[in-house]
Structure 1
Amino acid sequence: PEKVRANDYNPNVMAPVEQRLLHTSLLTEGYTQPVGVAQAGQGYSVVDGYHRMQLGKHKPRLRERLKGYLPVVLVHQESGGDAERRAATVRHNRARGQNAVTAMSDLVRDLARLGWEDGRIAKELGMDAGEVLRLKQISGLAELFGDETFSQAWTVE
């Protein structure tokens, strides 16, 4: 478990009641889904299963049951970059219907900063162009559209 670390961009949030339910489930049924990880330097970064990882690493009864191990699966990565790991996390969360708007907006902003065009963001995250635009607007118009040219309709005389 020491080589597995949380990512700093997880866009899904779990309420305390659901965390307790997940903890009970892991104690009762075990890990029915491993933690999805990607190679990151000398260790592994969580792509899917952040909350399962946190509970497995920090809850004594679970840690004892796992004998100090954490069930993981290494995800296939084409290029292995940070942006690809972020996109994979979003795909997993969206497939389950879990994501937080503000965190998702921050993720879209970060991918744009990393040089991804809107079309690629939409394709990789399973969005349409309108959703990418709305999420960009949430995280800041000035920053994300600062280099865009505007028509004269925006000019006030």
Structure 2
Amino acid sequence: MKELKFPCMDVKLVPIDKVIANNWNPNKVAKPEMKLLAHSIEEDGLTMPIVTYYDDKIDKYVVVDGFHRYTIVKDYFKSDVIAVTILKKDEKNLMASTVRHNRARGVHKVDLQADMVVDLIKKGWTDEQVSKHLGMTPEEVLRLKQVTGVKEVFKNRDFSRSWIINND
């Protein structure tokens, strides 16, 4: 059996100005997801350290994974420090690590997301709270509620009349 390493157990708090982006990350995040990431960090704190390697030639920690978290902590929260873990690999393997971290995140399944929306509404959240805390537009919340076909999630909604019968 291959030995399992736990770099996540060796977290360091370093000055944020000693951390820089790598020059190979192909991952881009859209503005709504960046807003959700900022909200997530605001609500939960930085729950995962930034994965880095230390480049002693320039005396900097270079981001392997977590660039967008790093950006939010630096630019939105204006923090002076950030939590990092440090990998010790050659550049080819660090580049591969970046891609693995990016690709291993998975995707949301619409039906499971819809079930979660319904469950949160049943637990007392409004559509607005679901929208805010899950980073969804009101239209997305509505669509996911419609996917479920569960009538009780619509019970507190006002509906406009499509047409009115005029008895003239």
TM-score (norm 2): 0.50
SS in 2 for 1:11: coil
**Residue of 34, 39, 42 corresponding to 2:49:** 34
Match of 1:74 in 2: 86
91, 96, 101: which one pairs with 1:87?
Answer: 96
Identity of aligned residues (%): 38
Q: Which residue of 1 aligns with 2:74?
A: 57
Q: Which runs of 5+ in 2 are unaligned?
A: 1-15, 108-168
Deviation at 1:81, TM superposition (A): 2.2
Q: Provide Cα deviations, 1:114-148, integer angstroms capped at 9, x if missing partner.
A: xxxxxxxxxxxxxxxxxxxxxxxxxxxxxxxxxxx
* RMSD, aligned α-carbons: 1.5
Structure with greater proportional helix content: 1
- Corresponding residue number in structure 1 for 2:113: none
Larger Rg over CA atoms: 2
Give the TM-score taking structure 1 as reference length.
0.53
Residue by residue over 1:18-77, the C-alpha shift from the partner in whole angstroms, topping out at 9 and shown as x without a partner, is 000000111111011111111123111101100001111111xx23xx4x11111112x2
Q: Which runs of 4+ in 1 moved over 6 A?
A: none
Report the Cα offset of residue 85 of structure 1: 1.2
Cα distance in 1, alignment partners of residues 96 and 74 from structure 2: 24
Equivalent in the alignment of 1:25: 40
Structure 1: stretches of 5+ with no match in the other structure: 99-157
Number of aligned residue pairs: 90
